[in-house]
Chains A and B, each alone.
Chain A
Amino acid sequence: MTAVQDAPTQEIGRDRRRKEDQRLITGRTRWTDNITLPGMLHLAMVRSPFAHARIVSIDTEAAKAATNVVTVVTGADVADEQGALPNAWPITADQVAPSHPPIAVDRVAFAGEIVAVVVARSAADARDAAELVDVEYDELPAVLDLKSAADDETLAHPDLGTNKSAYWVFDSGEAGTGGNADKAIEQARADGIVIEREYRQQRLIPAFMEPRSVVVDPTGEQITMWSATQIPHVLRFLLAAVLGIPESKLRVVAPDVGGGFGGKLQTTPEEFIAMVLARRLGKPVKYTETRSESLVSAHHGRDQWQKLTLSAEKDGTVTALKVELLADMGAYLSLLGGGIPILGAFMYNAIYKFPAYHFACQTVLTNKTWTDAYRGAGRPEATFAIERIMDELAAELGVDPLEVREKNWIRHEEFPFTTVAGLEYDSGNYEAATERAKEMFGYDELRAEQRRRRESGDPVQLGIGISTFTEMCGWAPSKLVGQLSYGAGGWDHATVRMTGTGKVEVLTGVSPHGQGHETAFSQIVADRLGVPFDDVEVLHGDTQVSARGYDTYGSRSLVVGGEAVVRAADKVVEKAKPIAAHLLEASPDDLEFSGGRFTVRGTDQGIGIAELATAVFAAHNLPAGVEATLDSDATFDPDALSFPHGTHLCAMEVDTETGSLTMRKYVCCDDIGNIINPLIVAGQVHGGLVQGIAQALWEEAVYDESGTLVSGSFVDYLLPTAADTISFEIDHTTSPSTTNTLGTKGVGEAGTIASTPAVVNAIVDAVRHLGVNDIQMPCTPERVWKAIRSGGKGGATEGAAMPHFDPSEPGSDSTEGARE
């Protein structure tokens, strides 16, 4: 028995440097595209250049005859075995959904859809042969504009008879969670204030840095798929369910994955095709997309029109909110499909005490790339709209936008608070976060500078933008998501294993792609088991290693997966206790566990958990009837969602001569409950902020009139660089969550959800005195300039790209968008 040691320092709350980094900074990473297997064949996709067309014929002869080509496959060739891609969230019972074959069989419904697949000995050979596949199309009218799609003038899928997929409604009067919104609005028209606005959520592209890649090895008894995915467990389940392969024969591995942001929360045509062809050919196959393919064919996000009606009393007390959404699904219903806008349904009321609320969403099919989750998924849209219209209410009242928020938000003593949307917010303190943010920002000084610039007619005006956001995350509980017709559960799973040498292996069902689970979960387990941080290894992303889980999205990893880890670790301690008592020749009731040691109360007798693990491994001396393992599992399904919140303040300078925008300052104070690793949290906040800021300022997926994605490369889909962004000031207030023992709330999406309205509010605030009350996103200099000149929103984005890479003339190939 070893002597008592000092208990290790508490790990939770420490800014531990990440375990993941050593391999990532030295190039020892295993990306899917790095995997090479003996006899591996390569796939190249032939994709439709047309948004909507009938496939008349596909001539594959020349491609098949090319050197090193193994085969060329069309949709017709595999029609009976390729299955259809799943939509796992039918939001209404009568939802209209087109069938979605991985390889189009007789018709394509968006530009970029796969029509044939070349299999060859090298990627270069496959690409060369893909050029030889001759597809004859009969072009059909394409429906591209969301609003006209909803009018059913042209059909994205003629066989369905309509573009309208589902109409989903929440009404607080009907649900019994509040009053009748229409009545309240009617009342306000008579004696209060009614604000009506329409906002555009432009189409975005997740644009993770690692292009998607998939490798399938059909040799051996189990088929292994490596994929750059966020959801290996969900993927295995759906491959099995759709293709009829027993799950026991399928292993899915997400090795190192280079970002996702919702963009890899998908089961893709490419994954299904790789699986089908590997099984057909009996050889490993690989497919890695190019960036251009990724931008056109990986799912997009947002793309909504949002119509809001807000009513208030004359003093600014809100009385009702009505939201009418049109949401573009693109050509097919993706994995989560129509569910994404519904995720926003519960968030438009945000932190405010609306007595009445009505939400209605019409999902619509068009001939564009299908849409699905993008960081925040539904909540950024909701937060943008409510935070924008609260500013409009403040402008109408002629008061500071913070004042109107404070008047209407839930006060800290009112938690837990059941909202008009029927959710119970467990904890929060909007006053505290706002106070801290104002202090960091120098709110009053900046308001004074704004006044000075206005008065002097400075060509560079200053605006201050506010976003007092909340969101719902930690996607679970199973019961709740089931009520929403979500086709899966929300629990997650962990295993904690004690190895023979006394080290700890943690298996988690959540699947990271940059978040730092290995580090954060090690910290949790180190504290729970009292073992050194470095003695904990976190294993993930392989269905054969961590068999159960629902993966990583919706800011759920820590609040659901992390809590499962806590519970599994606690079970290890429980299992260890009788064994420790036996070895210490004491009664279990006299044992205490602390700092990694069981000690006999009132003595210096004790045994460390690592030592105990070795003893259990040897199993020479165990109590009767006790199994020779400490390994433990836990499945955790929380009772509620998690509700982080925060106050974000942004100062923007607007060059009124050119419309050019400069971010001057951005501060935020977020309440995300208890923090496991402040370094990782800061990284999540920074990155989230820039993605939200990028929606406000730069990013937009633009289609031309023929349905070609004009912003189809990084030349035209504008991701910000280091030179376009600034350093942020961030801080936290802490109201621990009551839904998990760690007291944590999700943080992965908070920055993105909060920042977009803060930026746009700042821009509008800078030029409101010039007659502007909205500028459509992305707020390009041109739009800002036009808005200042005309008092309008700045107009739509023209469908043309810069022709830089074109060797001959603008208007061909990549620049097809220039065509009228």
Chain B
Amino acid sequence: MTRITMTVDGAQVSDDVEPRMLLVQYLREKLGKTGTVIGCDTSNCGACTVHLDGRSVKSCNVLAVQADGAEVTTIEGLATDGQLHPVQEAFRECHGLQCGFCTPGMIMQSIDLLNENPHPTEEEIRLGLEGNLCRCTGYHNIVKAVQYAAREGASS
């Protein structure tokens, strides 16, 4: 067991974990942050995407011990005081989700994308989301949602 301490969605947390525990398992099993989900085992699907020290990562592809001392933001930490993050709002507005399983990762990656590039072209959006699989939407409305969020100034 290794002692780790980190900030998750603004709260300081600390636990003894096995070194083999993945960050996504730590979030789900130890912290009950089940908003972040696991969709594959090859790090292709991106459903588990969270922000680690401000940048998007696939939390299935990070050991919890590697995140020791880091700041983690999950889908559950986006809305503040009952106010949705503009990208969350955009996904709802544009029907950018159906079953919703890919959505936490898709939203987290979209936020990262807009942080890097506040006014992306459609092609830049599509390339920026290449690490996130969705089986329901055909991506059409996800792209629309990111465009909508960009217009609404989500990155500010």
Contact = CB atoms under 8 A, between A and B. Distances in A.
Interface of A: 17-18, 20-29, 31, 33-34, 124, 207-211, 256-259, 261, 290-292, 513-516, 679-680, 682-683, 686-691, 713-715, 719, 721-723, 725, 727-728, 751, 805
B133 interface: yes
Contact of B138 (A29, A291, A725): A725
Which of A17, A26, A679 lies at the interface centre, i.e. has the most chain B CB atoms within 10 A of its CB?
A26
B55 interface: no
B101 A259 contact: yes
B97 to A, nearest CB: 6
A721 B140 CA distance: 11
A17 B95 contact: yes
A571 B97 CA distance: 34
B122 interface: yes
B34 A690 contact: no
Interface of B: 18, 20, 28, 33-42, 44-45, 47, 74-76, 78-79, 84, 88, 91-93, 95, 97-104, 107, 122, 125-127, 129-144
A20 B101 CA distance: 12
Contact of B104 (A27, A682, A687, A727): A27
26 contacts: A21-B92, A25-B100, A26-B84, A27-B34, A28-B35, A31-B34, A34-B28, A34-B34, A207-B135, A209-B45, A209-B101, A209-B102, A209-B133, A210-B99, A291-B45, A292-B42, A514-B136, A683-B98, A687-B98, A687-B136, A714-B133, A721-B126, A722-B127, A723-B127, A723-B130, A725-B126
Most buried by A among B35, B95, B129: B95
Contacts of A207: 135
B135 A24 contact: no
A261 B134 CA distance: 13
Contacts of A261: 135
A401 B104 CA distance: 44
A21 B91 contact: yes
Given A18-B92, A26-B79, A258-B100, A725 B44 contact: no
Contacts of B42: 291-292, 713-715, 805
Contacts of A257: 99
B80 to A, nearest CB: 11
Nearest to B20: A124
A28 B84 CA distance: 13
Contacts of B45: 209, 291, 714
Given A17-B93, A27-B74, A259-B135, A723 B41 contact: no
A159 to B, nearest CB: 35
Contact of B99 (A23, A259, A691, A713): A259
Main secondary structure of the interface of B (DSSP, over half): loop
Task: Name which of B126, B136, B144 has the most chain A CB atoms within 10 A of its CB.
Answer: B136
Contacts of B144: 727
Contact of A31 (B37, B75, B76, B137): B37
Given A28-B76, A31-B101, A722-B132, 16 more contacts: A23-B100, A25-B97, A27-B34, A209-B134, A259-B101, A291-B40, A291-B42, A514-B136, A686-B141, A687-B136, A687-B138, A713-B40, A713-B41, A713-B44, A722-B127, A722-B142
A291 B60 CA distance: 13
Contacts of B76: 26-28
Nearest to B103: A24
Nearest to B142: A722
Nearest to A714: B44
Contacts, number: 174
Given A25-B103, A515-B98, A722-B125, A728 B138 contact: yes
Contacts of A513: 99
B47 A291 contact: no
Nearest to B101: A258
Contact of A686 (B34, B88, B92, B140): B140
Nearest to A288: B38
A292 B144 CA distance: 31
Closest 6 A/B residue pairs (Cβ): A27-B35, A514-B99, A258-B101, A24-B100, A690-B138, A714-B44
A768 B18 CA distance: 60
Contacts of A691: 135, 138
A7 to B, nearest CB: 27
A559 to B, nearest CB: 19
A319 B137 CA distance: 40
Contact of A722 (B39, B79, B88, B143): B143
B102 A683 contact: no
Contact of B139 (A18, A211, A725): A725
Contacts of B79: 26
B64 to A, nearest CB: 13
B37 A682 contact: no
Contacts of A690: 138-139
B47 A209 contact: yes
Given A18-B95, A516-B98, A722-B125, A714 B40 contact: yes
Contacts of B33: 27
Contacts of B142: 722
A692 to B, nearest CB: 10
